[in-house]
Amino acid sequence: MTSPSNSFTLPTSLEAWKKLENLAQPGVVEHLRDLLIDPERSHAMTVSLHGMELNYSHQRVTTEVMVALAELAQGTQLKEHTQALFAGERVNVSEQRAALHVALRGQGLQHPPWGEAIQAQVGTELARVCRFVDLFESHQLKGFGGEPFTDVVNLGIGGSALGPMTCVQALEGLNQGPSTHARVHFVSNVDAWSLWHTLKGLNPRTTLFVVQSKTFTTQETTLLASSAKRWLVDQGCSEHDLPRHLVAVTARQDLALKQGFLAEQTFHFWDWVGGRYSVWSSIGLPVALAIGAENFKSMLSGARAMDEHFFTAPVLENMPTLMALLGVWNRNFLKAPSHHIATYAYRLRGLTPYIQQLDMESNGKGTHLNANRVQIETAPIVWGGLGIDGQHAYFQLIHQGQHLVPVDFIGVRHDSACPLPLAQEHLRCLQLNMMAQAQAMALGRDESHTRQEMTAQGLSAEAIDALAPHRSFRGNTPSSSLWLQELDAFSLGMLMALYEHKTFVQATLWGINPFDQWGVELGKTMANELAQEGKKPS
Ligand code: F6P
């Protein structure tokens, strides 16, 4: 069965692939310390969008490599696949579903490619979310003691947690001081201590639980919800008042209503929204409660701006496509086994776990769209975290270890939100370290320069002989630097949509389906079987 969605071109069959294999041979592309001598390189290899800048001058590429990568994109019908995605075709071929996360942030578009019916459905649910936020902020939602809710606990896992948590953390600046916004907490792990750690500091009378689950059958989330209800009842909440403390966000409203959730506190999203792509849907309710409806809509607008850019910009000016092509160059041609995300903003501490699910659950695949076994590398291992912490820990391996580890550095140019008096000095320190790490990874320091440095430090010849090899740096580790003007709702929306589209482009290049996740099913099945057999840890 072929359809526009599952037809693809094997990338290795393309002339561009062979060109890239030749270009990747040792010595063909100069060392970064030589490429970076060109004073025009940084400007030529920077793409901007609404203040966001992607500088890929520290990637191991030349114009010839970029042209061949662009040919690869054209040869694998990227444009056609993108049009199919936006038009709501069943691009998720193994589940015969569309993947229309772009429709979730396209309100206000005239003649949307996904059609008026979906446009209306999305608009209705978004209005319900915004209305609920307004009720919360005007103190019309009250707990069993008659007091308005103050705290929200998100119970969910994977896509039902990581996206909302990333946003709430990133936009802390929008929830400062005395505010009508909710204090939002996240519990995803089924370990009782994970729930207790949050509940112990909360007032049950003013705590609202948002149970987030697309399937509404995820074992961990179900148990967390039962435990939360029990906590409320033990703290004096009557069975009658219990539903007031509970909100459901799910594609299975029927299950939620059967379990006693109030219809007016049950929010819906659709099966054509993947869990890891769902933060723009009602799954974003905790975000809207934390930052307000208008800021949530601003986040949607940022994602929309990235959608528009992705849909219209030429390949070599297209931010998501560039990041995807550079990732393919590093993965399939320079053979890097992993990809590192280094965020230089504490508020972005949730971004790496979010991208790990987005990237590895989408593209950690071994079967092509046509069900044939994949013969090329697909998703790299995505790892990372806060760069400042990493440079005092695992960056050692990136600088001097045996692996080639390409890095995305993500930083912020301006921060007007932090109330601390020395905030600008903190920001400067972050920025200098991010720039220095990208430079050190690219340039390295060869042994002759290391010897010169040690001689200048007055070390003896025998000390230099003994130490120089240990203190030299090969360099030539590639990186991209992504700078946000300010970490606000709009730029965060752009950033997260950027990585969604990067993931989609790589899947298109590899001829795989980024929208299913059969690989997570076996473990769940076995856990249920063990439970039914009454197995104990052995
Ligand atoms: O097990 C993986 C997964 O299905 C993810 O794809 C999903 O985001 C997460 O579990 C949670 O699923 P649900 O939202 O249905 O509870």
Atom nearest to 524 CA in ligand 1: 1
Q: Which residue lies with its CA nearest to atom 5 of ligand 1?
A: 158
Task: Pick the residue whose CA is nearest to atom 1 on ligand 1.
Answer: 520
Residue nearest to atom 8 of ligand 1 (CA): 159
Cβ neighbours of residue 271 closer than 8 Å, sequence gap 6 or more: 97, 251
At 114-159, the pLDDT tens digits run 999 999 999 999 999 999 999 999 999 999 999 999 999 999 999 9
Q: What is the reported pLDDT for 4?
A: 53
Residue 1: predicted pLDDT: 39
Kindly give the distance from the C-alpha atom of residue 354 to the centroid of ligand 1, in angstroms, as a whole number: 13
C-alpha neighbours within 13 Å on the C-beta side of residue 368: 17
**Residue of 214, 250, 526 best suited for mutating to test ligand 1, as the one with most atoms within 8 Å of CB:** 214
What are the pLDDT digits (tens) for 176-235?
877 889 999 999 999 999 999 999 999 999 999 999 999 999 999 999 999 999 999 999
Q: Do 11-90+313-416+426-445+477-515 and 101-293 have matching folds?
A: yes
Q: How far apart are CA 269 and CA 203, in angstroms?
A: 30
Ligand 1 site residues, Cβ closer than 6 angstroms? 157-160, 213-215, 218, 221, 275-276, 361, 517, 520
How would residue 102 be classed by pLDDT, with cut points 50, 70 and 90?
very high
Q: Which amino acid is at 40?
A: E
Atom of ligand 1 nearest to the CA of 221: 16
Spatial separation of the C-alpha atoms in residues 406 and 477, rounded to whole Å: 6
Output the CA 189–ligand 1 centroid distance in Å.
13
- What one-character DSSP code corresponds to residue 445? B
SS (H, E, C) 233-271: HHCCCCCCCHHHHEEEEECCHHHHHHCCCCHHHEEECCC
Q: Of all atoms in ligand 1, which is nearest to the CA of residue 276?
A: 8
**Ligand 1 centroid vs 61 CA: distance in angstroms?**
37
207 phi, psi to nearest 5 deg? -110, 130
pLDDT digits (tens, 9 = 90+) for 300-354: 999 999 999 999 999 999 999 999 999 999 999 999 999 999 999 999 999 999 9
Longest dimension (CA), the chain: 82
Return the residue whose CA atom lies nearest to atom 2 of ligand 1.
520
- Helices and strands in the chain: count of H runs, count of E runs: 22, 11
411 CA distance to ligand 1 centroid (A)?
30
The 10s digit of each residue's pLDDT in 341-382 is 999 999 999 999 999 999 999 999 999 999 999 999 999 999
Taking CA atoms only, the protein residue closest to ligand 1 atom 13 is 213
Closest-CA residue, ligand 1 atom 10, reads: 158
Phi-psi region of 440 (alpha: psi -120 to 50; beta: other; left: phi over 0): alpha
Which residues neighbour 311 within 8 Å (Cβ) at sequence distance 6 or greater? 82, 86
pLDDT at res. 178: 78
Residue nearest to atom 3 of ligand 1 (CA): 158
pLDDT value at 447 more than 60: yes
The mean pLDDT value of the chain amounts to 97
Rounded CA-CA distance 23/27 in Å is: 9
| Whether the Cβ atoms of residue 182 and residue 152 lie closer than 8 Å to each other | yes
pLDDT category, 538, cuts 50, 70, 90? confident
Residue nearest to atom 6 of ligand 1 (CA): 275
Q: Which of 155, 186, 210, 215 to mutate to test the pocket of ligand 1 (most atoms within 8 A of CB)?
A: 215
The answer to whether the beta carbons of residues 125 and 131 sit under 8 Å apart is no
Question: Which residue out of 92, 94, 101, 157 has the highest number of ligand 1 atoms within 8 Å of its CB and is therefore the one to mutate?
Answer: 157
CATH of 101-293, one of 2.60.40.730, 3.40.50.10490, 3.40.190.10, 2.60.40.2300: 3.40.50.10490
Atom of ligand 1 nearest to the CA of 159: 8
Could you read off the pLDDT of 239-298 as tens digits, one per residue?
999 999 999 999 999 999 999 999 999 999 999 999 999 999 999 999 999 999 999 999
Residue 262 Cα, ligand 1 centroid: separation in angstroms? Answer: 23
Backbone phi, psi, residue 384, to 5°: 145, -155
Question: Looking at ligand 1, which atom is closest to the CA of residue 517?
Answer: 6
Choose among 104, 94, 445, 461: nearest CA to 282. Answer: 104
Q: How far is the CA of 310 from the centre of ligand 1 (A)?
A: 27
Q: Where are the domains of the chain?
A: 11-90+313-416+426-445+477-515, 101-293
Atom index in ligand 1 nearest the CA of residue 218 equals 16
What's the CA-to-centroid distance between 160 and ligand 1, angstroms? 7
Pocket test residue of 94, 188, 218, 356 for ligand 1, highest count of atoms within 8 A of CB = 218
Q: How many Å lie between the centroid of ligand 1 and the Cα of residue 46?
A: 36
Ligand 1 center to residue 432 CA distance, Å? 38
Neighbours of 27 (CB within 10 A): 6
User: Three-state secondary structure along 158-194?
Assistant: HHHCHHHHHHHHHCHHHCCCCCCCCEEEEECCCCHHH
Contact call for residues 489 and 181 (beta carbons, < 8 A): no
Class level of CATH domain 11-90+313-416+426-445+477-515: alpha beta
Point out the residues that are catalytic.
Answer: 361, 392, 524
**Which of 101, 160, 270, 525 has most ligand 1 atoms within 8 Å of its beta carbon, as the pocket-test mutant?**
160
